[in-house]
Amino acid sequence: MSRPTRTDDASAGLTAANSGMNRRRFLAGTAALAAGGMLMGRPLPAAAQEAPAKGAAARAASSYKLDLGGYAGPELTSQPITLKFMRQEFPPHVNAVLEEAYKEFSAAYPNITIQEEKVPYGDLQKKMQIYVGSGAAPDVMMGRTDFIEAYHAGNIALPLQDYFLDEFLHDILDNQFKAASAKGNFYGAPWETYFTMMYFNRDIFKKAGVPTPPEVTDVNAGWTAEEFIAALDELTQKLRAQGDSTTWALSAATHGNGGPGANYTQVESLWVRSQGDPNADKGSSAYKTFLGVSEDGLQATGYLDTPEAVKGMANYQQLFTKKLAPPTAVPNQFVSGVGAIHFTGLNQASRLFQQKPAFEWGASPFPRGRIAFNCNSSDCPIVWSKTPYPAEAAALVAYLCNDANRIRFYKTWGSMPVRKSLIAAIPEFGNQQLFQLSAAAAASGQGAPRSVGWFDYFNAINPVVRDIALGGDPESQLKQAATRIDGLLRKYR
């Protein structure tokens, strides 16, 4: 997909930087050019058409009372208003970072009150659905890039490209930008991302006398799925032979409700889609396996139940049939030192740093199949399409995504940034293997299968994955799941 709003101004940016032009003037200039090109180049939905031209807005940029980051919309209202923001609950120290940011925003714009609603992470999409149905949704809601197609098709989110500088949009990792866009519109500012990596407890491997996974920075240089299973099998057998019956080779997933089927997007789909190939012939099952759903996003049969997908799920099933991983949710196994390997994102690893576990640990890429695959599901604040304050809501999103706020957030929460300049600005991403690997995974990540009904797909496939883990036949289960998903997606036709 081509980027809807970003002009190819990278070289222009370089020239500008060299000529000593100040940032605001440069941004205003590129924004004006971009706005012109954008308005000529593609149709905009009604809400976007009502938005002011970005060039005019950018001219007003210097009048913003605060660093609104990539915001390029009009100056904010002087009328007293309340912006409602629904987001996930974070631990108190992370909430404090956001609350501090609101204070700064309200100090600059005392007429704008920010009212938060924090909900458990797993309930965000359901809550959004209920709010949208009620016709009184919060102005800003924390969405996810997986659901961008639905936000577009359901007219849930406001297209944001006209409210953001092209420099900001260009700065977002390409695969993240693509995931946050649909049908030529940019709907949500990716907030942070989670690329699944393999963390291992060095002490357990040492105790069993099994070589640790390769500690590399290249996502293609890790174990293959087969090597991974063989290593875990050997590890388990040696541990049991030593009388250790409590340590698991692979700790239970901690996404969602935990255990198998916890989060297809970020965990189990990696086993399946890594058996596909984006460079294969478009009619081939390898290509379809990689896609996960038909090009129109409305058919899973032939995509989810291919021989390659069955192979991926059969590999996954071995983790449980060979008793390499517990078949149910078990919290904190890895942190407690009774799990040799754990699949998680960078933020959990950062928490490991903070907790200083009583063991040595390292990181390796997620096992690869035919390709090295990682899914780039990201949280992204979206602006409700019917908000009475589109500019202010977009400005709030942009403000929270400005450099200072994002770096403060990443450093506190430990997650993976989604903008190239921020990755470059954090030294660890240049000199520490874990961070370099995470950056490599982020750069090569792929989006969730593009379907307007991804929410249905996701909810239908998770229990099937669990049933396969518990011994169900991968082929028949995937075929049934594909048929079921086809039925669920029919309503979007």
Partner 1 sequence: MPTAIRTSRKRNGRMARLAEVLPGPAMILPAVVALGIFQFLPLVVAVVNSFRSFNPFNQSPTGWVGLANYDEIFSDPGFQLAFVNTIAYIVIMLAATIPLALFLAVLLDQRLPGSTFARGAIVAALAASEAVSALIWNQLYDPRGGMFNAILAAVGLPEQPFLIGDTQSLLSIAAMSVWKDVGLPMLIFLAGLQAIPRELYEAAALDGAGPWRTFRNVTLPLLRPSLVVALFMMTITATRIFTPILILTQGGPNGATSNLAYYSYRLNFEFMAPGAASASVVCMLLVIVVITIAQTWLARGPKGV
Q: Which of 143, 184, 222, 326 binds partner 1 (CB under 8 A)?
A: 326
Min dist CB 264 to partner 1, Å, is 13
Is the CB of 129 or the CB of 301 nearer to partner 1? 129
Closer of 247 and 412 to partner 1 (Cβ): 247
Question: How many residues line the site for partner 1 (CB under 8 A)?
Answer: 33
Rg over CA atoms, the chain:
23
82-100 burial, b at 16+ Cβ within 10 Å, e below that, comes to ebbbbbeebeeebeebbee
Residue 45 in contact with partner 1, rule: CB under 8 A: no
133 binds partner 1 (CB under 8 A): yes
Closest C-alpha to 11, from 31, 36, 30, 37 = 30
CB of 375 or CB of 485, closer to partner 1: 485
103 makes contact with partner 1 (CB under 8 A): no
At 298, phi and psi to the nearest 5? -120, 10
Q: Looking at 94-102, 305-313, 339-347, 449-457, which segment touches partner 1 (CB under 8 A)?
A: 449-457
Locate 330 and state its tokens.
Answer: 């078990």
Q: Residue 135 CB, nearest distance to partner 1 (Å)?
A: 8
Per the listing, tokens 């740093």 go with 353
Residue from 45, 327, 357, 362 touching partner 1 (CB under 8 A): that is 327
| Residue 313 found at the interface with partner 1 (CB under 8 A) | no
Q: Looking at 251-398, which runs of residues are DSSP E strands?
A: 339-344, 361-364, 378-383
Listed ranges 166-174, 187-195, 418-426, 455-463: which one lies at the site for partner 1 (CB under 8 A) = 455-463
Cβ distance to partner 1 smaller for residue 41 or 122: 122
Q: Distances from the Cα of 396 to the Cαs of 32, 68, 98, 179, in angstroms?
A: 22, 8, 12, 21
150 part of the interface to partner 1, by CB under 8 A: yes
CB of 156 to partner 1, least distance (A): 6
Which one-letter amino acid corresponds to residue 300?
Answer: A
| 336 is a contact residue toward partner 1 (CB under 8 A) | no
Site for partner 1 contains 472 (CB under 8 A): yes
Instruction: Report yes or no: 312 and 369 within 8 Å, Cβ to Cβ.
Output: yes
Q: What angle do CA 54, 56, 57 make, to 5 degrees?
A: 60
Shortest separation between residue 201's beta carbon and partner 1, angstroms: 18
Cα separation of 356 and 333, whole Å?
Answer: 15
Identify whether the C-beta of residue 119 lies closer than 8 Å to the C-beta of residue 88: yes
Which residue, 155 or 332, is less far from partner 1 as judged by CB?
A: 155
In angstroms, the CA 20 to CA 15 distance is: 9
Among 75, 413, 463, 479, the residue binding partner 1 under the rule CB under 8 A is: 463
Answer yes or no whether residue 488 interacts with partner 1 by CB under 8 A.
yes
Segment interacting with partner 1, rule: CB under 8 A, options 147-155, 181-189, 198-206, 229-237: 147-155
Closer residue to partner 1, CB minimum distance, 257 or 433: 257
Q: In this structure, are residues 474 and 466 in contact, taking their beta carbons and an 8 Å threshold?
A: no
Q: Does 126 bind partner 1 (CB under 8 A)?
A: yes
Q: Does 467 bind partner 1 (CB under 8 A)?
A: yes
Compute the least distance from the CB of residue 262 to partner 1, in Å: 10
Of 47-55, 68-76, 77-85, 125-133, the window that binds partner 1 (rule: CB under 8 A) is 125-133
9 binds partner 1 (CB under 8 A): no
Among 237, 257, 284, 336, binds partner 1 (CB under 8 A): 257
- Rounded Cα distance, 189 and 379, in Å: 8
Residues 173-202 that bind partner 1 (CB under 8 A): none
End-to-end CA distance of the chain: 22
Listed ranges 80-88, 91-99, 195-203, 323-331: which one lies at the site for partner 1 (CB under 8 A): 323-331
Among the residue ranges 62-70, 126-134, 185-193, 398-406, the one whose residues contact partner 1 (CB under 8 A):
126-134
Q: CA–CA separation, 27 vs 454, rounded Å?
A: 36
Return the structure tokens found at 405: 């706020």
Task: Write down the H helix ranges in 42-194.
Answer: 46-50, 54-59, 92-108, 124-134, 148-153, 166-171, 174-179
388 forms part of the interface with partner 1 (CB under 8 A): no
- Mapping DSSP onto H, E and C, the string for 183-245 reads CCEECECCCEECCCEEEEEHHHHHHHCCCCCCCCCCHHHCCEHHHHHHHHHHHHHHHHHCCCC
Q: Given the complex with partner 1, which of 25 and 491 has the nearer CB atom?
A: 491
Q: Does 293 bind partner 1 (CB under 8 A)?
A: no
Rounded to 10°, the helix 454-469/474-489 angle is: 160
What is the smallest separation between the CB atom of 245 and partner 1, expressed in angstroms?
8
Q: How many residues are recorded in the chain? A: 493
> Which lies closer to partner 1 via its Cβ, residue 247 or residue 402?
247
C-beta of 85 vs 455, nearer to partner 1:
455
Please give the residue ranges that form the binding site for partner 1 (CB under 8 A): 126, 129, 132-133, 135, 150, 153-156, 246, 257, 261, 326-330, 453, 455-456, 459-460, 462-463, 466-467, 470, 472, 484, 488, 491-492
